[in-house]
Structure 1
Amino acid sequence: MILNFFFKHNAYKHIFFDLDRTLWDFEQNMRDALAEIYVNHKLDLAFPNPNTFIDCFNRNNHYLWDKYLKGELTKEVLRYKRFEITLAEYGIESKPLAETIGDEYLTLMPLKTALIPGTRETLDYLANRYKLHVISNGFKEVQLPKLQRSNIDKYFEWVVTSEHSGFHKPDKRAFGYALSKANARKGESIMIGDDLEIDILGAKKFGMDQIYFNPKSNPHQAKVTFEVRELVEIKKIL
């Protein structure tokens, strides 16, 4: 249920953000990077248009990323396999090309700077009141450059990825590691993220309050601490 009233909560000292799709516009930046790859490697010879390539990759990436989070696939395999499968669907059987594109994708993605609407305004407001941190399941070599290129790295004291902690959200140990690094306690911390299962219910099971960022108003039955459709609504809560 969408929160229909807001109040200032003075108990919090630390705010932990998810990055992709919460602050950094993963969908837009992904599409921009893949559109460049489509042109750079003349993929129009196989795919009818860039959107076909992008949508095919997106589907395969979701499938393999889920396996990666479950420990069924290594990072090294994921990096190229998602492209190898995508290319093969349209008749290109080339592991070397998939590996090249896989590396290029991770180089291009952090250069993109599209942010979720309200990101800067919200961070400007929060930074003067709380200590801000990031907990991300993304690869460590791309998450910090994303923040730097988007000029929002200055807001955060700690940026903790699953590779740093050794655990993926929603594992309780991922949250525990991040709080330990930030010298924060559960009762004075709150998690903000867009993924109900990974960010919000993961934090809830760990014992942290949560703000579910649900821009599309996806229906659910979960009991969350707070829920917002727009990032700027967080200013009414914190």
Structure 2
Amino acid sequence: MNKLENLKIIIFDLDDTLIVEVAAVEAAFLATCELAHKKYGIDTENLYHTVKSHGRQLWNAFVDIEYCNNIGIGYWEGLWGNFIGDHHNLKFIRDRIPTYRYQVWYNALAEFQINDSIFVQKLVDLFGNELRQRLVLFPETESTLKQLSQNYSLALITNGISDLQHEKLEKTHLLAYFQHITISGEEGFGKPDPRIFKLTLDKLGISAENAVMVGDNLSRDIKGAQKIGIRGIWINRSRKTLSQDICIPDAQISSLIELLKLF
């Protein structure tokens, strides 16, 4: 991708683009399960996979899956989010989330013949604490944003519930870099829905040809943006094989620092 002479704004995804997410979630699960290993001798990896299985099963059984898919949230948010907001689905989840969290860990431990309600609640609380300690930026995130913000306006479009995404942004001190932040949980729809990209452009008064989207997910971030004419830059840290049946990004990078060469 050559330097865009008409580029005015760079839009970023948040999770696994600017902030470590998947690795942080996995590490938090393993750290929490390790406590059960120390107390009861349960294999850490086995419990980890058992918890994930029960998390998905119970989540799918009580939430409006279509709504959750629309805003891009999954069972792991249910294990640590507060689900603040006025949408009836958020209220529904918020009212039931303490029971959900307890039941996930209770059911997982029951498979190892453990019945300890006090310990279950300890694991519930520990997972959220462990994950919050792991809300960190990729090493190059802040320096890249600082340099890019000297010449371009920056915006953010992220899928997720409002309280968690704001917590991540505040803890990692990213808020000051963005002219506008769009969170799917506040709008009722998220990436790859073209509406969330258009909403951001409209809020900024920018046309699609003056914007570029940077994200780690080909389908949600890149294809979604390209649908309304925004160029898409795929950050492919793990150097996955490009799946051209999804979409072809306008550029591909393995580190955010490479954006400084593109622009």
Structure 2 residue 203 is matched with structure 1 residue 181: yes
Q: Which residue of 2 aligns with 1:166?
A: 188
Shift of 1:172: 0.9
Matches within 5 A, 1:138-157: 138-157=160-179
Tell me the TM-score normalized by structure 2: 0.71
Match of 2:248 in 1: 223
Counterpart contact for 1:79–1:99, Cα < 8 Å = no
Give 1:16's match in structure 2, choosing from 11, 27, 49. 11
88, 107, 110: which one pairs with 2:107? 88
CA distance in 2, matches of 1:102, 1:174: 33
Q: Which amino acid aligns with 1:206?
A: I
The alpha-carbon distance between structure 1 residues 216 and 48, as it changes in their structure 2 partners (threshold 3 A), is same
Q: State the match for 2:69 in structure 1.
A: 69
Change (3 A) 1:108 1:48: closer
The question of 1:26 aligning with 2:21 is answered yes
* 6-15 vs 127-136, greater mean Cα deviation: 6-15
Residues of 2 paired with 1:11 and 1:140: CA distance? 32
Return the offset for 1:48. 2.0
CA contact under 8 A between 1:57 and 1:83: conserved in structure 2? no
SS of the aligned residue for 1:210 comes to: strand
Letter in 1 for 2:6: A
1:107 Cα offset (Å) = 6.5
Structure 1 position 33, deviation (Å) = 4.1
Compared with structure 1, are the counterparts of its residues 112 and 61 closer, same or farther at alpha carbon in structure 2 (3 Å cutoff)? same
> How far does the alpha carbon of each residue in 1:103-157 deviate from its partner, in whole angstroms, 9 at most, with x for none?
7755664554421231112111111111111111111102122122112221112
Counterpart of 1:91, as a letter, is A
Corresponding residue number in structure 1 for 2:78: none
Task: Go from structure 1 to structure 2 and tell me whether the alpha carbon gap of 1:118 and 1:167 turns closer, same or farther (over 3 Å shift).
Answer: same
The amino acid of 2:144's aligned partner reads T
- Quick one: structure 1 residues 173 and 22, their matched pair in 2 at CA, closer, same or farther if it must change by over 3 Å? same
Matched residue SS, 2:147 = helix
> Following the alignment from structure 1 to structure 2, what is the Cα–Cα distance between the partners of residues 181 and 108?
36
C-alpha distance in structure 2 between counterparts of 1:201 and 1:62, whole Å: 27
Question: CA offsets, 1:26-67, max 9 Å, x none?
Answer: 134324544565578888537422x54445555666786994
Which residue is equivalent to 1:237?
262
Bigger-Rg structure (1/2): 2
Task: Give the 5 Å matches for 1:94-113.
Answer: 109-110=131-132, 112-113=134-135
- Normalised to the residue count of structure 1, the TM-score between the two structures is 0.78
Identity of aligned residues (%): 24
**Residue 130 (structure 1) aligns with:** 152
Any idea what SS the aligned residue of 2:143 has? helix
Gaps of 5+ in 1: 1-5
Alignment of 1:49-68 (within 5 A): 49=44, 51-57=45-51, 67=65, 68=68
C-alpha distance in structure 1 between counterparts of 2:16 and 2:69, whole Å:
17
Once the two structures are overlaid, the 10-residue window that deviates more, 106-115 or 198-207, is: 106-115
Most deviating of 30-39 and 155-164: 30-39
Residues 106 and 117 of structure 2 are in contact (CA less than 8 Å); yes or no, is this contact kept in structure 1?
no
